[in-house]
Structure 1
């Protein structure tokens, strides 16, 4: 996206929200230690590498045998909304059509946005990759009255 906003920015935000709802996790607080992935990266990895494991992405409170196909379809739609290239993302009217089953054959999603930059930043700083939390340095000054 690189600082540009368009109608596809709303589509991206909707996709993130949809994936957050399906997983029961927030994108901003998600951290998968061994892979350094955010929520989008985790969803993408499961989509491309482990289709059977996609059920692990979904919040167990909302999935059962009857709802699983619909929820996996929603995950597919969420991944379509967060694709890196804005031209590959559907517009919101198309997303609505997908959600209400007017569009049955969904295209294959491409890689999500920010995945390359996230992976590159983790490769550049191996010492930071070992930390799960940040450490703040604080200087304390003693205040004296006059």
Structure 2
């Protein structure tokens, strides 16, 4: 066990956990932020996507000991009122079906728009590697395009 001071959603959290514990489980089980989902556990599906240092990362395989002093943002911290342009576009475009992957999809899309404010179809295709079992990929692309205009 080791003590870590993490900045998550602009709030300090002191945790005493194994340095190899995946960030996902620190977020969900230790801190209680359950918006980030467990999907595959091997960084393939993207349901666990959060921002670390402003970059989209798969938290299911990132050891908490590797976070360092980087700020972590989860879906709960993307916007105070759920009104981030991506969240609004997701709702307006009616993206989710089951909704399970959506927090990870939204976090990946928000990171994409931060680095590419007006993404091309190719940019979206390359950045959005999260898996959606309901296959809402066309609506996801439409929502990202809509969010890029806001």
User: Which TM-score applies when normalising by structure 2?
Assistant: 0.26
What is the TM-score normalised by the length of structure 1? 0.27
Greater gyration radius? 1
Relative to its length, the structure with more helix (as a share) is 1
Higher RCO (CA 8 Å, separation ≥ 6 residues): 1
